[in-house]
Amino acid sequence: MDKETLLVSVANKAQNWLKGNYDDETKKEVQSMLDNEDKSLLIDAFYKDLEFGTGGLRGVMGAGSNRMNIYTVGSATQGLSNYLLKEFSDLDQIKVVVGHDCRNNSRKFAEITADIFSANGIKVFLFENLRPTPEISYAIRKFGCQSGIMITASHNPKEYNGYKTYWNDGAQVIAPHDKNIIAEVNNIESLEAVKFEGNKNLIEIIGTDMDNAFIEEVKRLVLSPEAIVNNHDIKIVYTPIHGTGITLIPAALKAIGFTNIIDVPEQNVISGDFPTVVSPNPEEPSAMKMAIERAIETDAEIVMASDPDGDRIGTAIRDDNGEFILVNGNQTMLIFLYYLMTRRKELGLLKGNEYIVKTIVSTELVKTIANKNNIKMFDCYTGFKWIADVIRKNEGINKYIGGGEESYGFLAGDFVRDKDSVSACTLFAEIAAWAKDNGKTMYEMLRDIYVEYGYSKEVGISLVRKGKEGADEIEAMMKNYRTNPMKTMGGSSVVLCKDFAKLEAMDYVNSEHITLGMPTTSNVLQYFTEDGTKLSIRPSGTEPKIKYYIEVHGKVNSREELTDAEQKANAKIEQIRIDLGI
């Protein structure tokens, strides 16, 4: 479609919004876009309908068919309601949980969602105010609900919001329910089909009791209570970065025995504008800056942060010089899984049926540790719904002891079926206490993992490509990678290429095609070289980005060799970037 034809199409859609049963504020915003000489905002707001994807909705807030607003949220909820009424027609009462984060309009979207569910005869447990995503997952299981919604755009910029959909096991929906729900949402052709008038008798407000029950579950995860008693006064700086973590994480840390939790007062302020950060993402160094400054000021030992919806964790620890360094997502997962496997072995808790889970783009060093400890490891796609799927399939057969992904998400207990910064923060603090009992800092512990199991360096690179033109460019890039696969990478020959969109791999050493045993396809490419380097490429499912994950390996015999290993790894990563042109 050429630009002139596209402009006519979006203008017609916008005019229909002016004529339709939309509120005055929405119509005013649409008229402003029509009147603006620069039509880029109009095009982006109307060039397509905001897609209800396999995880729900996520987009920029505002008027338009491609925006997060009460009408796109309304259509999504009505479609989901229709599906629930069909799927669970044998139940006397269908039940759902609705929660939300700190973002602008999140409470409004949550209340509208609750109203529409209740208007369809569905019982709603609505949280009294903001709560972390993992608590919504937990509440679904606790109340025996059939579904749940979390209004959040996670760690996206402040102009975004989202609508995450959960199923009756507390995990985000997967096949066949994801596609079936999408079909029902797409069948909503007009606003008249959406039941906006709620039934207040079917909406129950929940809060403190669920908080207390959740924290009790977190307490049961502790493996080193003595270490916590011995080091209860470790100075811990924690920040919620204006988000939901403030409602549970400080209380959970205190509940397991830590007594010296230091806050960042400016970031305790709940705000969808995220006034102290450019991006409310603990993966970003700038988002951790104030917490680290507070830790230096108070002579704290560790720093922890959670993102706005309280599912991701960011951390910082002191190096050998006493300077704070950020721990990346792969390293955090490595520390968690190393501790859980090692500590369980020490306590004699390993029975032979334990397993861990990681995503395909996360560090392969996890697999090395699991193999040496005779613990099964499952690889799954990016996204905690796939880790939850592994847990579901192993329920009653094998024992889940932990799972994570490189994007700062971890799940320590299976009473939740999504990544959980609450139990992750308590676990990180527990590990700090355990390391101290063993005469080590967290930094020394991480370095000793590399000495024992091999050195690994991982770098993630994201290229942002916004709007329709950006989406087209990302699609073209992925097509080019498939048409022209890499033969060498960082000076080492590619020996294996995996294409998860086709569920096929090519083993270049044996000239052999391999079928990939995954539950469904995914738009991911992976390259493996003869020296152990791994490259993964995929478009983000929630942001306008194409993502590259580079992982290189080395062998060290002592802590002293780690500096040289890192320098060599950095040089190889830089060469791979040059090879890719990024």
Active site (catalytic) residues? 154
Exposure string over 259-293, b if 16+ CB within 10 A, otherwise e: eebbbbeebeebbbebebbebbbbbbeebbebbbe
On whether the CB atoms of residues 343 and 223 are closer than 8 A, the answer is yes
Quickly count: other Cβ atoms within 10 Å of residue 297's Cβ.
10
CA neighbor of 207 nearest in space, from 268, 136, 259, 150:
136
Please, which residues bridge with residue 359 across strands?
Answer: 380
Q: Is 357 left (phi over 0), alpha (psi -120 to 50) or beta?
A: beta
CA–CA distance, 244 with 37 (Å, rounded to integer): 40
Strands 492-499, 56-60: parallel, antiparallel or unpaired by DSSP? unpaired
On whether the CB atoms of residues 303 and 291 are closer than 8 A, the answer is yes
CA neighbor of 423 nearest in space, from 357, 352, 340, 517:
340
On whether the CB atoms of residues 373 and 345 are closer than 8 A, the answer is yes
* Residue 318 vs residues 300, 310, 324: alpha-carbon distances, Å: 9, 24, 4
Which DSSP category does 265 fall into?
G
Q: Can you list the positions of beta strands (E) in 328-406?
A: 354-359, 376-380, 399-405
Quickly count: other Cβ atoms within 10 Å of residue 416's Cβ.
30
